[in-house]
Every structure is written in C-alpha cells, then in structure tokens.
C-alpha cells in the first residue's frame, strides 16, 4: 500500500450511471475527487430511471409514477455534476485486468487505469425456462417496461404479465395506466405467501400500501389476477398466441399476443468477477455474489460494490449504497469523509434489507419448476440447448459443477454468457445431482463480458501511462 | 401484425430505412428494435433451428436481438438508435 500512496493518484472509476453510480459520483465529487463514470446507456438513470431517446408528450409522472421525484432528482443531480467529472455514455466496460479497465466507447477500445473502482452494474430479470418462452412477443418484465417507458410502445394488443415479484404488478399497472389492454396478471406465488407482506407494513407501510392499491386498480381495470400459477406453457407458431397454466389441478388458458415475464431480478456480477473479487453464496438471492462489507468494500482493496449488482435490494437501496461506497473510497484514500452520514446510510440499508427479506417470502422463486421441466424445452436461448440435452450431459459426463456443465452441454457458452440461462442451469444441475444449489458453483465470467468486434480488441492500447 | 404497438411519438419526424428490401419509416427516438417490431413480427431467425426471435430483455443483456445490415454489419437492435438509410435484414438465418 506504500507504493500506492506515493505515486500520482489516478481518477476513481465508476461503472454504471443508475441510482447507485450517480450517488457514488456525487459523493466522490463532494469529497474533492474527479471520477470517470462509464455507462452503457446514452443517458443516465439506469434501467429503473431510464430516459427516453427523445422527449414525447408524457410527463415524468407518466413515466416514473410515484418515483418521478426520485428520477428527476437523480437526472438533475447528475447533470449538475457536469464539468466536475468525466462521463462516457454508451461505453461498455468489457474487461478488467491488472488494475486497468478495457472500455469500448465510440467504436474504439480505451484502456483506463484507475485508483478506486465502484462497480454499480445493476441487475437484469431472473427467469426460468418455460415451454414457448423463445417465441416473439415474450419479453422480460424489465423489457416490457423499457418498451413502454423508453420507447412508448406496448408489447402487444392483449397482454399477459407472468411471474413474481413487485415488478410484476408494477409493470402491469403501468401498462394499464398507459391505456394498453392488459388481460391478466399470473403470479407464480401462492396467495398464502402474500400474507408475509403484513410483516413489511411496520417497516415500509407506504410501499406495501402502494402495492395493494396497484392490485386493486388492476382488478377495477378489468385485469384478471391469478396466483399460485403453475405448469405454464406459452403457445404459438411464429409468435405468441396464448398462455396456458394449471392452478389447483385445473387447466386455464388465455389468448394473448404479448407476454411480460420475470421472476424478480439477478445481479450483474461479471465485472466484480473479472476484478478478482471473492464470491460467496447468498441464500436469499439463490446466487453467488461478490462479498462486501456494510460499506461496500470487496475482498480486493480499492474495489467497491453498490446497487443491485451486489445483491438485489432495489433503487432506494442503490442510491444509499452508492453514496456509502463512495464514502468508503474517500476514507480509504485518506480523504475527509462524513462518518455520521456513513453510519446513517448503513442503518437505512439494513432496514431496507429486512424489508427485502419480506418481499422474498411474499414472492418465492419457483426453483422447483426445474425438476418438472420438459426435455424439449429450450434452456439456453443463445446456443439452443434444451433441458433434455442438459440432463444427458449431466448423466453422460457425471457433471457436478456448472462450468463443467457449460463445457459438456454449451449451456451458458453463448453470447449472453449465461445471464439468461445461468440460474436455470444451476437449478437443473442441483436437481439432477441431488445437491444444494450452493454446491454446484457459479459460471465464471469471461472477457469480453458482452460481444465486441475483434478489430476493437486488437486496437486496445493503454490510454495513460504511469 | 406487428409485435409492438406504438402508444406515443406517432407524429414524430419519420426516419426512412429498409426492412428486407422494403422501404419503411421509423420515428425519431426509435431504437432499431422498435422500428422493426412496430412493422414486423421478428428480428431474426435463430442460428441452429431457424426459429423466429424478437429480442427478450431490451436492455442489452440477453443478446437475443442482433440483426444484420445488408453491408454485413451486425447491430444489437435494442441498444442501437435507428438512423436514416439503415438497410436491415431479418430473413437470413444466422443473422447474429
């Protein structure tokens, strides 16, 4: 660490300009540093507070509902930091090695050395394969929300929302308010699980009541609400035509031409993996996550985690964990930082964490689906590997570990690198081998974390020599 | 019938492009994905089974929405803004 403190200090790097990245940037600037913020999107906000490419007739209230104030504050605060930080939008961090980041921006790759790295990489929808899920017209819940919010489009003319988690009801409600025809909300969680939301009332009454109000408004709006949905099949030849499911032994079917589907969220952890952070299994998220302390420090000195990329906690937690991680970075660099503020943020994060446990109990992840998954159902969308082929590979090669399964079956080897099928592959492997999900391991991240042109990789050069 | 239904921006400035050789118009503010799927039912055919695909996550994570231009260039449709004169193909299997 001595050599560290005597050399000319470099800029801190923040990856992601969602709620966590924005608050981290703001706190670093307030602490006297000039961070570089890189983000894949053309404008700040992340997925939840994503901005349109061009304005349209909708207000912030139309786009972000009850969270409009938070969205506008984040966008405004980040704009206010202009000149005090460096910001590269539409920039993809595709590798981290030897203390440097490889970043693709404007068609070229730049290599950036940094001193202090805040990873605020966010999350994507968590899904499990179901028959018909590759058909055109099936989008993730997050995808359905982006189509509406960012592009002003509905994903169909008669839409069904399927899955579990708060986003299920939120997106359905947003579609209803936007004037789309929402046929049904199919919740995979049993009704009894919802009772646990009562435990959330004393923690965050406003959020629980808002959820109940959305359900009531969906019902009033003519949307069929079903819970305990199982054995879901999506039907259609060249596109979605219907959805079928069972509940309590009875078969149900709805004609529809668009489906939004998701089972809560999963963290984007590839960058932390490439940075060498130590991972541990998190039973609540049923996933391996990079280890961090209450401040966001990872096992690697100078690398910090914030937001949903470090474990699913939502946008309000992301703002706080972004600021908290930045305060830790300032402290670790020997700069003045507000210890009282840091402690307050940690208390708020702990409170949100308790609420998150309630949400998880109310919307349990249907891991048991994988046991009954039909052999012919596509598991890996990229490589088109079906469940039967995965079961074959597990049996033929005696596979116990996820990276072995990838080598033997090509699951997770495609362009998405297992973002979409990784959870399902782990659950299926655990089921087939009779092991716990924590015993089958995790897919190792590989650079580039997303496809980049080969010519780009060859052009990579250090941007700043030390 | 197209996959996506436009609720706003219907009167924004037109952006011309071609889809499998046919002249089309998107709207200012469209991604390539939106421009295609407000006219068509798919973005591409999958490499191995030639089954139709139309994207999934719309947030540049799932890599399901790569389309090919007549020039051979490949684009991720959900994260690329439509620009005038794009000549997009959806018919070819292995578009990604």
pLDDT, tens digit, 9 for 90 and up, residues A400-409 = 999 999 999 9
Check if the beta carbon of residue A131 is closer than 8 Å to that of residue A234. yes
* pLDDT > 70: percent of chain A: 96
What is the dihedral sign for C-alpha A353, A39, B86, A449? negative
Within 8 A by CB and 6+ apart from A54, the residues are B9, B12, B28, B29
Residues of B in contact with A58 (CB under 8 A): 8
What is the second-level CATH architecture of the domain A367-435?
A: Orthogonal Bundle (1.10)
Same fold, A127-263 and A367-435: no
User: pLDDT digit string (tens) for A134-178?
Assistant: 999 999 999 999 999 999 999 999 999 999 999 999 999 999 999
How would residue B19 be classed by pLDDT, with cut points 50, 70 and 90? very high
HEC per residue, A291-315: CCCCCCECCCCCEEECHHHHCCCCH
Q: Is A179 left (phi over 0), alpha (psi -120 to 50) or beta?
A: left
ipTM tops 0.85: yes
Hey, what CATH topology would domain B14-89 get?
Ubiquitin-like (UB roll) (3.10.20)
CB contact under 8 A, B56 and A140: yes
In this predicted structure, what is the pLDDT of residue A61?
A: 94
Separation CA A208–CA A201 (nearest Å): 6
User: Collapsing DSSP states into helix, strand and coil, what is residue A16?
Assistant: coil
In this predicted structure, what is the pLDDT of residue B55?
A: 97
CB contact under 8 A, A148 and B7: yes
Cα A148 to the center of its chain, rounded Å: 18
B46 touches chain A (CB under 8 A): yes
* pLDDT > 70: percent of chain B: 95
Range A127-263 has CATH code 3.50.50.60: yes
In this predicted structure, what is the pLDDT of residue A26?
A: 98
B91 touches chain A (CB under 8 A): no
How would residue B95 be classed by pLDDT, with cut points 50, 70 and 90? very low
Q: Could you tell me the pTM of the whole model?
A: 0.95
How big is the A-B interface in CB pairs under 8 Å? 137
**A contact residues 326-345, partner B, Cβ 8 Å cutoff:** none
Kindly report the backbone phi and psi dihedral angles of residue A205, in degrees, each rounded to the nearest multiple of 5, phi listed first. Answer: -55, -40
How would residue A457 be classed by pLDDT, with cut points 50, 70 and 90? low
**A contact residues 267-306, partner B, Cβ 8 Å cutoff:** 268
Q: How do the domains of chain A map onto residue ranges?
A: 2-124+266-359, 127-263, 367-435
Separation CA A21–CA A44 (nearest Å): 9
User: pLDDT digit string (tens) for A295-305?
Assistant: 999 999 999 99
What is the second-level CATH architecture of the domain A2-124+266-359?
A: 3-Layer(bba) Sandwich (3.50)
In this predicted structure, what is the pLDDT of residue A98?
A: 87
């Amino acid at each position: 660490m001595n050599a560290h403190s005597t050399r000319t200090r470099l800029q801190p790097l923040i990856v992601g300009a969602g709620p966590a990245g924005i608050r981290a940037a703001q706190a670093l600037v307030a602490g006297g540093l000039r961070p570089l913020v890189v983000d894949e999107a053309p404008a700040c906000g992340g997925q939840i507070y994503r901005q349109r490419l061009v304005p349209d007739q909708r207000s912030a209230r139309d786009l972000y509902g009850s969270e409009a104030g938070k969205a506008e504050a984040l966008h405004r605060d980040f704009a206010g930091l202009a000149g005090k930080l460096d910001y590269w939008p539409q920039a993809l961090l595709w590798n981290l090695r030897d203390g440097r980041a490889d970043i693709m921006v404007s068609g070229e790759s730049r290599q950036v050395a940094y001193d202090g790295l805040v990873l605020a990489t966010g999350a994507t929808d968590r899904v499990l394969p179901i028959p018909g899920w590759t058909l055109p017209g099936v989008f993730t819940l997050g995808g359905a929300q982006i189509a509406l919010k960012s592009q002003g489009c509905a994903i169909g003319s008669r839409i069904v929302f399927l899955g579990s988690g708060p986003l299920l009801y939120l997106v359905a409600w947003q579609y209803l308010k936007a004037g789309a025809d929402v046929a049904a909300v199919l919740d995979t969680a049993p009704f009894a699980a919802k009772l646990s939301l009562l435990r959330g009332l004393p923690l965050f009454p406003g959020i629980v009541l808002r959820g109940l109000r959305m359900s009531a408004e969906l019902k009033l709006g003519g949307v069929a609400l079903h819970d305990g949905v199982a054995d879901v099949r999506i039907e259609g030849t060249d596109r979605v035509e219907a959805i079928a499911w069972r509940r309590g032994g009875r078969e149900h079917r709805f004609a529809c031409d668009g489906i939004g589907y998701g089972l809560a969220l999963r963290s984007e952890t590839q960058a932390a993996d490439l940075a060498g952070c130590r991972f541990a299994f998190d039973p609540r998220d049923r996933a391996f996550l990079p280890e961090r302390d209450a401040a966001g420090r990872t096992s690697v000195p100078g690398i910090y985690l914030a937001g949903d990329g470090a474990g699913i906690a939502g946008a309000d937690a992301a703002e706080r964990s972004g600021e908290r991680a930045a305060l830790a970075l300032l402290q670790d660099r020997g700069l003045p930082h507000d210890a009282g503020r840091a402690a307050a943020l940690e208390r708020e994060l702990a409170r949100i964490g308790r609420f998150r446990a309630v949400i998880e109990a109310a919307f349990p992840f249907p891991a048991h689906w994988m046991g009954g998954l039909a052999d012919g159902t596509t598991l890996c969308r990229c490589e088109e590997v079906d469940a039967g082929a995965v079961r074959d590979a597990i049996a033929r090669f005696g596979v116990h570990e996820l990276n072995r399964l990838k080598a033997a079956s090509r699951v997770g080897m495609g362009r998405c690198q297992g973002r979409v099928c990784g959870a399902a592959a782990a659950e299926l492997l655990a089921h087939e081998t009779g092991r716990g999900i924590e015993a089958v391991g995790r897919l190792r991240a590989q650079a580039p974390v997303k496809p980049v042109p080969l010519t780009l990789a060859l052009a990579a050069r250090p941007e700043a020599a030390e | 019938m197209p996959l996506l239904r436009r609720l706003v921006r219907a009167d924004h400035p037109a952006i011309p492009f071609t889809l499998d050789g046919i002249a089309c118009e998107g709207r200012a503010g469209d991604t390539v994905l939106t421009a295609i799927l407000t006219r068509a039912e798919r973005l591409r055919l999958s490499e191995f089974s030639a089954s139709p695909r139309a994207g999934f996550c719309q947030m540049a994570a799932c890599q399901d929405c790569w389309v090919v231009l007549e020039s051979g260039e490949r684009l991720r449709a959900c994260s690329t803004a439509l620009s005038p004169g794009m000549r997009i193909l959806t018919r070819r299997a292995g578009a990604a």
